[in-house]
Amino acid sequence: MPYEPSPSRLEAFSDGVIAVIITIMVLEFKVPQANGLAGLRTIVPTLAVYLLSFTFTGIFWVNHHHLVDRLKRVDHLILWANLGFLFCLSLLPFFTNYMVEKRLDSFSVAVYAGLLFTTGVGFTLLQKAISRHLRHVHADPEELALQEAEVRKGKISEAMYLVAIGLAFVRPWLALTDAALVTVLWILPTLGLKHVREKHQQ
Amino acid sequence: MPYEPSPSRLEAFSDGVIAVIITIMVLEFKVPQANGLAGLRTIVPTLAVYLLSFTFTGIFWVNHHHLVDRLKRVDHLILWANLGFLFCLSLLPFFTNYMVEKRLDSFSVAVYAGLLFTTGVGFTLLQKAISRHLRHVHADPEELALQEAEVRKGKISEAMYLVAIGLAFVRPWLALTDAALVTVLWILPTLGLKHVREKHQQ
Amino acid sequence: MPYEPSPSRLEAFSDGVIAVIITIMVLEFKVPQANGLAGLRTIVPTLAVYLLSFTFTGIFWVNHHHLVDRLKRVDHLILWANLGFLFCLSLLPFFTNYMVEKRLDSFSVAVYAGLLFTTGVGFTLLQKAISRHLRHVHADPEELALQEAEVRKGKISEAMYLVAIGLAFVRPWLALTDAALVTVLWILPTLGLKHVREKHQQ
Amino acid sequence: MPYEPSPSRLEAFSDGVIAVIITIMVLEFKVPQANGLAGLRTIVPTLAVYLLSFTFTGIFWVNHHHLVDRLKRVDHLILWANLGFLFCLSLLPFFTNYMVEKRLDSFSVAVYAGLLFTTGVGFTLLQKAISRHLRHVHADPEELALQEAEVRKGKISEAMYLVAIGLAFVRPWLALTDAALVTVLWILPTLGLKHVREKHQQ
């Protein structure tokens, strides 16, 4: 009596967790002491860092969306790999706040970049668990090729996050720029791809 | 192999994020020091401001509901525009709290009105991404006309939020009244429309 | 082109908001200073009050579940009445915490009972909006009768919450017992009803 | 007119509550005072305990998933048993934090183990409510046998949590190791089972 649930509750649960993660980060912000523009200026770095963490989470949501959409059933390895990935992601609000409270010093930025890297690895492991499942159920080869292309793209991001850990000790803002660049690399091509796709459909 | 996911997970994720935003605002409230009625009175402005932010978020939820319901598929531009809109909205708990802690001074109210304006613009961009998609898939022209009417209505709200930024420097309460007026303008006509609609259906 | 959305997103959104409300209440708890049993004892009232607020919210979730399940479509009045009800409910974590920090003094318990009453009224208004809709779409009369029976039951609860406001000034624990009694009155009969029902089905 | 709702909203609500529980735990973490590695080291126990609580919640989510998937309809006893289970689980963030702030002293670890035990019992009661329902609707006997096997497995976990309460007074880390062992016992066999299953399917 093998039990292989549909991915709908996996999606619902992951959506819930990601929605909470992306939203509670702002709860950590502290209202600046100073009134007026002077006070507001002091939280600009916080807002910028929040935008980075928000976009990072957003990209994973979009990718998770695509990834799970390929599945008709989920096995236990996928359920646990998914929880492992969500665990890494759930540490993001804390380490975003950690970096802000340490005023973006080298060490805290390196730790933050380390978490981005670890979360990326967690996502790669989830992708591998899903690839394995797709091969077992003899999925469409074209689908599998797309899946492999995404795994490769993930590995490039992870390499860039590794570089960011090193850059943090040279100049913290260089590490954050590197991390921001990864998000741009994820968003831009998907938009470009879209235009091509629409032409094909017409 | 163009990939165009259904909007169901976009809905589920947005619902989750909006549900968290609308609920965690109360976590920022501080229990007044004074006991009895005297203490309770001191949090009346906080409660009034929370009601405004709650209603503001509620309106966007209702409108988001209508907007996404028009879609059969979503493209990447819509996914990212939606995340952009949610990012603006996710700042609302922080800036509501910011305004409360600054005791509704001119600057903080202007910043708050600025956020309402920016969130409105974010929603307009999402509407535009959806209009573009609907034109691409040759959607029902009547549907497109309705969509355009909503975009226009959104622009009026944004203009009123812009006015609120200015009013904040004259009298903060005038700015908040202006913002509250926008919410009334959104709620009342939809109720009116409903009665007309029901007559038609009978 | 009348637009009447299905209740699925109303359900999903309300579930999200209620899930957050019911869960974030514990975030307000403060770890007691004292170690061991002595410290744990000091938070027993907090836990008891949390159990009451949790059960109160749970009952509304179950009732909301039943209520919305009757609908095939929702109109704007229902959407807004639902948001109004959720607004009242969203104040529960704050006022639970308020009562705990004021060490269950008469005034704070009365305010808490007042919120339970207001939330009850908010739910009655939502029920009325739904009754109105059901009459408009000429729903099954038996369904309407059930709906009316629930409205009556809601009114009895509200009367008991009103009494609790008064009792708070006599003895705070009497008011809380009264409120706890309402929750028992909601849970027990539904279990009893179930047994009868099952007999009928056999 | 017996009313037996489908389990979809029970799933959605439980997913929401569990998603919030699993995510808000990190909100309780305090950024260490010390900079650099020295500060980070001080939060390693916190992170380890969080990993334990996260995994514990994750296991319950997976089991809840399986359990509710067996249902076509839910009755009131199931609704209330589910709320009872969620109540126990909702206390986890608080008692995780409690144990961390008490620096994992014997008493706090025993209380934490006690909560794990109580949550286990809450889940067993939910399983029993579901078994009862399955017998009433004359479910597939094989399904019922699987259900009973899971109840037995749950009881072994509960016995191990009881042991952990005692162990906490010998050595707190022994109690936590015992609790961690239970999570491993839940995860490993499901992975093993999977491989066997896949062989059968080929």
Per-residue pLDDT tens for A73-109? 888 899 999 999 999 999 999 999 999 999 999 999 9
Rounded CA separation D190/D178 (Å): 19
Name C131's Cβ contacts closer than 8 Å, sequence gap at least 6.
C144, C147, C148, C151
| Range among A127-131, A143-147, B169-173, D198-202 rated most confident | B169-173
**Tokens, residue C187:** 């849970």
Name B111's Cβ contacts closer than 8 Å, sequence gap at least 6.
A40, B95, B98, B99
Q: Which residues of C touch B65 (CB under 8 A)?
A: 5, 9, 79
* Location of structure tokens 């040279």: A170
Q: Which residues of A touch D65 (CB under 8 A)?
A: 5, 9, 79
CB B65 within 8 A of CB C5: yes
CB count, 10 Å around CB of A124?
Answer: 18
**Predicted confidence (pLDDT) at residue B89 exceeds the cutoff of 90:** yes
Nearest by Cα to B113 from B44, B53, B58, B155: B53
Q: Which residues of B touch C93 (CB under 8 A)?
A: 26-27
**Tokens, residue C50:** 């949390």
Query: How much is the pLDDT for A195?
Result: 46
Rounded CA separation C93/C99 (Å): 10
C23 touches chain A (CB under 8 A): no
Nearest by Cα to D32 from D19, D18, D47, D21: D47
CA torsion sign for D66, D72, D78, D82 is: positive
Indicate the residue of D12, D80, D87 with minimum beta-carbon distance to C187: D80
Nearest by Cα to B29 from B110, B101, B122, B78: B101
Q: Which residues of C touch A16 (CB under 8 A)?
A: 16, 19
Indicate the residue of C19, C143, C198 with minimum beta-carbon distance to D20: C19
pLDDT band at B28 (very low <50, low <70, confident <90, very high): confident
D141 touches chain B (CB under 8 A): no
How close A188 gets to chain B, by Cα (Å)? 10
Rounded CA separation C179/C161 (Å): 6
Query: How much is the pLDDT for B65?
Result: 85
Q: Do A80 and D191 touch (CB under 8 A)?
A: yes
DSSP state of C102: T
Q: Do A20 and D20 touch (CB under 8 A)?
A: yes
Chain B: touching chains (3 or more CB pairs < 8 Å): A, C, D
**Tokens, residue A102:** 């340490």
Closest residue of chain A to C15, computed from CA coordinates: A16
**Predicted confidence (pLDDT) at residue A48 exceeds the cutoff of 70:** yes
Q: Which residues of B touch C130 (CB under 8 A)?
A: none
Percent of chain A with pLDDT over 70: 91
* Location of structure tokens 């589910």: D82
pLDDT band at A200 (very low <50, low <70, confident <90, very high): very low
Q: Do B9 and A40 touch (CB under 8 A)?
A: no
- Comparison of pLDDT for A198 and C127, the residue scoring more: C127
DSSP states of chain D as a string? ------THHHHHHHHHHHHHHHHHGGGG----SS-HHHHHHHTHHHHHHHHHHHHHHHHHHHHHHHHHHT-SS--HHHHHHHHHHHHHHHTHHHHHHHHHHTTT-HHHHHHHHHHHHHHHHHHHHHHHHHHHHHHHTT--HHHHHHHHHHHHHHHHHHHHHHHHHHHHHH-HHHHHHHHHHHHHHHHHHHHHHHHHHHHHH-
**Tokens, residue B29:** 């409230």
DSSP states of chain A as a string? ------THHHHHHHHHHHHHHHHHGGGG----SS-HHHHHHHTHHHHHHHHHHHHHHHHHHHHHHHHHHT-SS--HHHHHHHHHHHHHHHTHHHHHHHHHHTTT-HHHHHHHHHHHHHHHHHHHHHHHHHHHHHHHTT--HHHHHHHHHHHHHHHHHHHHHHHHHHHHHH-HHHHHHHHHHHHHHHHHHHHHHHHHHHHHH-
* Location of structure tokens 């009105």: B113
Query: How much is the pLDDT for D200?
Result: 47
pLDDT band at A202 (very low <50, low <70, confident <90, very high): very low
DSSP state of C2: -
Nearest by Cα to A57 from A26, A31, A30, A78: A26
**Predicted confidence (pLDDT) at residue C2 exceeds the cutoff of 50:** no
List pLDDT tens digits, range B103-157: 999 999 999 999 999 999 999 999 999 999 988 887 788 888 888 888 888 899 9
List pLDDT tens digits, range C34-57: 999 999 999 998 999 999 999 999
**Predicted confidence (pLDDT) at residue A1 exceeds the cutoff of 70:** no
C34 touches chain D (CB under 8 A): no
CB contacts under 8 A, C 120-139 vs B, are: 136
Chain A: touching chains (3 or more CB pairs < 8 Å): B, C, D
Query: How much is the pLDDT for A38?
Result: 92
Nearest by Cα to A92 from A143, A18, A37, A152: A18
Q: Which of A17, A23, A25, A104 to mutate to test the interface with D (most CBs of D within 10 A)?
A: A17
Query: How much is the pLDDT for A192?
Result: 53
B16 touches chain D (CB under 8 A): yes
Q: Do C18 and D13 touch (CB under 8 A)?
A: yes
Determine which helix (DSSP H) or strand (DSSP E) holds B57, and give its type and residue range. Answer: helix B44-69
Indicate the residue of D11, D23, D142 with minimum beta-carbon distance to A24: D23
Query: How much is the pLDDT for B4?
Result: 65
Give the range among A58-62, C58-62, D146-150 with minimum mean pLDDT: D146-150
Strands (E), chain B: none
Rounded CA separation D171/D175 (Å): 7
**Amino acid letter, residue C28:** E
Q: Which residues of B touch C13 (CB under 8 A)?
A: 15, 18-19, 61
CB B13 within 8 A of CB A13: no
| Range among A5-14, B159-168, D70-79 rated most confident | B159-168
**Predicted confidence (pLDDT) at residue B33 exceeds the cutoff of 60:** yes
Q: Do B93 and A27 touch (CB under 8 A)?
A: yes
List pLDDT tens digits, range D123-162: 999 999 999 998 888 778 888 888 888 888 889 999 999 9
Query: How much is the pLDDT for D195?
Result: 46
pLDDT band at B54 (very low <50, low <70, confident <90, very high): very high
Q: Which residues of A touch D187 (CB under 8 A)?
A: 80
Collect the ranges in chain D with pLDDT lower than 50: 1-2, 193-202
Rounded CA separation B124/B155 (Å): 8
Mean pLDDT over the full length of chain A:
87
Using CB atoms within 10 A of its CB, is residue C125 exposed (0-12), middle (13-18) or buried (19+)?
Answer: middle
CB contacts under 8 A, D 72-131 vs A, are: none
Average pLDDT value for residue range C132-149? 85
Percent of chain B with pLDDT over 90: 56
Rounded CA separation D11/D16 (Å): 8
CA torsion sign for A25, A27, A28, A31 is: positive
Q: Which residues of B touch C16 (CB under 8 A)?
A: 15-16, 18-20
Indicate the residue of B5, B83, B107 with minimum beta-carbon distance to A58: B83
pTM: 0.90
Chain D: touching chains (3 or more CB pairs < 8 Å): A, B, C
Q: Which residues of A touch C16 (CB under 8 A)?
A: 16, 19
CA torsion sign for B51, B54, B55, B56 is: positive
Angle made by CA atoms D8, C81, C2, in degrees to the nearest 5: 80
Indicate the residue of C26, C35, C198 with minimum beta-carbon distance to D90: C26
How close B5 gets to chain C, by Cα (Å)? 18
**Predicted confidence (pLDDT) at residue B3 exceeds the cutoff of 70:** no
Q: Which residues of B touch C108 (CB under 8 A)?
A: 35
Closest residue of chain C to D2, computed from CA coordinates: C197
Query: How much is the pLDDT for D3?
Result: 56
Q: Say what the ipTM of the complex is.
A: 0.88
Q: Which residues of C touch D12 (CB under 8 A)?
A: 11-12, 15
